[in-house]
Amino acid sequence: MKYLTAIAVLLLAISTAWAKDGASTYKSKCAGCHGAQGEGKTGPKLAGTSLSEDDIVKVLTAGGLS
C-alpha cells in the first residue's frame, strides 16, 4: 500500500509539472493564433501562401518559423 501511495504522489507531481510547462508552451507557441483563452482569434493564413510545406509544418508544430 505504501508503494501505491508513493506512485500516486509521484504521478501527481509529474502531471502538475507538465501542466505548468503546457501553459507556458501554449502561451508562447499557440496563443498567437488561438488567443489567450483559446477563443480562436484570426491567425496567419497558411493556405495559398508562398510558404513551403516545411514552413507550414514549422508554424503548426512550433508556433512560428523561428
Q: What is the pLDDT of residues 24-66, one digit of tens each?
A: 888 887 887 788 888 877 666 777 778 888 888 887 777 766 6
pLDDT confidence of residue 17: 59
**Where in the sequence is the domain holding 24, given as residue range(s)?**
2-62
Tell me the C-alpha distance between 28 and 51, whole Å: 21
Tell me the C-alpha distance between 31 and 11, whole Å: 28
Tell me the C-alpha distance between 14 and 28, whole Å: 21
Under a CB-based contact definition with an 8 Å cutoff, are residues 65 and 58 in contact?
A: yes
Query: pTM for this structure?
Result: 0.43
Q: How many domains does the chain have?
A: 1
Return the ∠ at Cα 63 (arms to 26 and 25), rounded to 5°: 25
